Structure 1
Amino acid sequence: MKRLKIAVVTPRYAVSGVPLAQWRFAAALAAIGHDVDLIIGRCDPNLHVPPSAGVRLSVLGSGQTRGMFAYLLRYFRRDKPDVVFSAEDHLNTIVLVAAILTGSKAKISGSSRVTPYDTYSNKVFTKRWLLKIMARMVAWRADALTCVSHDMVDQYRHVFPGSKHVCVYNIVDQPSARAKIGLPVADPWFNDKSLPLIVGAGSLMPWKGFDDLIRAVHILIKGGKPVRLVILGEGGSRPALEALVRELEVEQYVRMPGRTDNPLAHFARADVFALSSHVEGLPNVLVEAMMAGCTPVSVDCPTGPREVLQEGRYGYLTRMKDPADLAAGIARALDHPIAPEILAEGVRPFHQDVVIRRHFELLGIAA
């Protein structure tokens, strides 16, 4: 295998889907012998990017994605990468413009992670319209354009007729992640089996639907099926969610302890993982729960949950924004958990070897 100089680029680092996926991707590429640069626009406050063997890290401190442009121009001229993997549409366009202006010969793969309906617009002279024009103008320079779910590919082909977008999943299953599953968890709720434990995880933001999840747990408790709920994560909706917990008088059953560096160990000790989002790209956290052996329950939001759970083979699907149906799904999962060997089957498409092989095939590179 030829050793390649590869840049993995992402706008920000946070303890959430896209940044973690890019960090895992960089680590996996370095682990198989490539020369890897991980370029990050900015890091969320009070966080640091964990080191990874063989990965050179550059955090630029750019307040906005466009602030990465000058650095990328210098990087293309100075470092002459063989391959660049970027993620998120604004950054993909900036990377492609920088490659064009510098005459770079790098193979470039741009990955889209959110629905194009939230990114682009046909309303003339708006910011989202201008971004759509720019993206269309520079798309020729991309050697591959990818999305993280098949449903999202369909959306992009609707917004950009004739586009070359294809589906490539994020890396979720890799040795460093599996090593975390068996580590201890100090939180007593994860070691106490007196009540079934439901876990949710993600940014505490409105589109994550955690209010629906709290209401679903309230429905279960009032219906004579007491459970505990732990929501891992942090964000601006915390005050509203805490107020809802008090309003429903479920303080003894619901906790929000904040972020954790090891959600996988928490998932492994829970009975059910619940995803209540109103929108996703492809929820890596569902795959993480499956990898940890935790039965997933997810609302059928666009895009990804139905695809990850394969119409319900690997977990339970419920209606979106419907706490009663979510409660019913959690009850079904508690009564009929998914067997570990079935969950393992669902994780296979997200293994690092499978994902890297697919990326390299699209770029015409021998893996």
Structure 2
Amino acid sequence: MTTATGRIALFIPSFSDGGVEKQMVALAGGFAQAGYPTDFLTRPGELPYLDRLDPAVQLIRLPAARNAQREATIDYLRTQRPLVLMSAKGKDDLLALDARDAAKNAAGGTRVFLRCGIHLSSRPKMVSRNPLRGLWHRWRLRRLYARPDGVICVSDGVADDLAQLTGFARARIAVIRNPTISAGFDARLAEPLDDPWFAPGAPPVILGAGSLAPVKHFEVLIEAAAALMRTRELRLVILGEGKERARLEALAGSLGIRDRVRLPGFVGNVLPWMRRAAVFVLSSEREGSPNVVTEALACGTPVVATDCPSGPREILDGGRFGPLIPIGDAAAMQRAIAAVLDAPLPAATLQSAIAEYTLPRACAGYLRAFGLAG
């Protein structure tokens, strides 16, 4: 029987512009620098963050069409025979497992790992008003998670939720923190930011970042900021793009703060913005392990976050490194932001919160989970 090589393949054909993509690019470089041949399988096109991919990583472009991606992945497994194929996003999990099964005889033992970065039971389809719809999705998840060789989660809360929802044994789930602090972090942090709102002497800036989607609840952040602006000279910047843009801009206008709110769109490097912000605010209704929170802390920037399932509480150590507030509560958010602005924690204290979120620690954890290191 043909044996698999020591090659690691990161599988992300649904690549977009989120935090998962940044983390996987960093991990690929970490594996390659640790001496493991590493492939990065993704879709065609001009994609963000790929300029950060380590030159030692082999970038493999899959076709754009989903059916063609399946056939190309099967062919890849048959010819390259990686030891590990890790699916990085839930959209790609079934494709990875089906390709492994179709290529099994020739792949010679490739093992598929699924990486879960979201709190599954909080998704709208899992809490649908139609109980049959929720049961259907739970049944599908249980079938899906009966198939991988291993599962990796980004937080304890995500792992606990996944085990309960799918029946996958909690003891078999590896929890590995995201590699937020990776190669080039300091250089990206030091990049200049030519923006008058962040110039010395300008009013303090409240910062949010993420896709402009309903799940992020940036409308709550705008409402809280508007209340604060009645008595304080402040500005609000929300980085990201999405279908909620028009609604958020209209809300800022209706609250009379349109000239003090900006939505610059997608930004490839958020660190210079975070470094100069007075406070970073996470307003989401659900997160797995929000990279923006760990990035802000790494910059020494105070954080306010919703106590949503499941990452903020773990990162902020139950509120020790930043206030945790109820989801959707603009008044509580207003009070928390005011408290942080009046008495911010020292930067060194905030930075100490993310000691586990480094590329070397993450790589070591993944290699242990893959059975490649002790």
- Structure 1: how far apart are the matches of 2:206 and 2:23? 24
Quote the offset at 1:61 in angstroms. 4.3
**Structure 1 counterpart of 2:153:** 147
**Structure 2 counterpart of 1:313:** 320
Match of 2:259 among 252, 256, 259: 252
- Structure 2: how far apart are the matches of 1:297 and 1:125? 32
Q: Given the superposition, is the C-alpha separation of residues 230 and 124 from structure 1 closer, same or farther in structure 2, using an over 3 Å criterion?
A: closer
Q: Given the superposition, is the C-alpha separation of residues 300 and 137 from structure 1 closer, same or farther in structure 2, using an over 3 Å criterion?
A: closer
* TM-score, normalised with respect to structure 2: 0.89
Q: Which runs of 5+ in 1 are unaligned?
A: none
C-alpha contact (below 8 Å) 2:138/2:165 kept by paired residues: no
- Structure 1: how far apart are the matches of 2:30 and 2:134? 41
Per-residue CA distance 1:263-297 (angstroms, 9 max, x = gap): 01110111111110111111011001111111111
User: What root-mean-square deviation, in Å, do the aligned CA atoms of Structure 1 and Structure 2 show?
Assistant: 2.4
Stretch moving more, 21-30 or 280-289: 21-30
**Structure 2 counterpart of 1:198:** 206
Is the counterpart of residue 113 in structure 1 residue 117 in structure 2?
Answer: yes
Q: Kindly provide the amino acid, as one letter, of the partner of residue 114 in structure 2.
A: G
1:1-367 map, 5 Å = 4-41=6-43, 49-52=50-53, 53-64=55-66, 68-103=69-104, 104=107, 105-117=109-121, 118=123, 123=132, 128=137, 131-139=140-148, 142=149, 144-163=150-169, 164-222=172-230, 224-366=231-373
Quote the offset at 1:325 in angstroms. 0.6
Q: Given the superposition, is the C-alpha separation of residues 186 and 101 from structure 1 closer, same or farther in structure 2, using an over 3 Å criterion?
A: same
- Structure 2: how far apart are the matches of 1:96 and 1:191? 50
Quote the offset at 1:137 in angstroms. 3.9
C-alpha contact (below 8 Å) 1:12/1:42 kept by paired residues: no
SS of residue matched to 1:349: coil
Q: Which runs of 5+ in 2 are unaligned?
A: none
- Structure 1: how far apart are the matches of 2:63 and 2:222? 36
- Structure 1: how far apart are the matches of 2:357 and 2:56? 22
- Structure 1: how far apart are the matches of 2:77 and 2:309? 36
Per-residue CA distance 1:100-131 (angstroms, 9 max, x = gap): 33223124321012222237698489873563
C-alpha contact (below 8 Å) 1:150/1:166 kept by paired residues: no
SS of residue matched to 2:147: helix
- Structure 2: how far apart are the matches of 1:19 and 1:47? 8
SS of residue matched to 1:314: coil
Per-residue CA distance 1:19-44 (angstroms, 9 max, x = gap): 2221121122223332221111465x
C-alpha contact (below 8 Å) 1:42/1:61 kept by paired residues: yes
* TM-score, normalised with respect to structure 1: 0.90
Q: Kindly provide the amino acid, as one letter, of the partner of residue 99 in structure 1.
A: R
Q: Kindly provide the amino acid, as one letter, of the partner of residue 306 in structure 1.
A: R
Per-residue CA distance 1:205-248 (angstroms, 9 max, x = gap): 111111000001001012x1221111111111000001001101
Stretch moving more, 255-264 or 27-36: 27-36
Per-residue CA distance 1:314-343 (angstroms, 9 max, x = gap): 222111101111111111111121222222
Per-residue CA distance 1:5-29 (angstroms, 9 max, x = gap): 2111113222212122211211222
SS of residue matched to 1:348: coil
SS of residue matched to 2:324: strand
SS of residue matched to 2:272: helix
- Structure 1: how far apart are the matches of 2:347 and 2:204? 18
Per-residue CA distance 1:181-205 (angstroms, 9 max, x = gap): 0110011112243311111111111
Q: Kindly provide the amino acid, as one letter, of the partner of residue 73 in structure 1.
A: I
Q: Given the superposition, is the C-alpha separation of residues 322 and 127 from structure 1 closer, same or farther in structure 2, using an over 3 Å criterion?
A: same
Q: Kindly provide the amino acid, as one letter, of the partner of residue 210 in structure 1.
A: F
- Structure 2: how far apart are the matches of 1:136 and 1:355? 23
Quote the offset at 1:71 in angstroms. 1.6
- Structure 2: how far apart are the matches of 1:250 and 1:25? 41
- Structure 2: how far apart are the matches of 1:261 and 1:89? 23
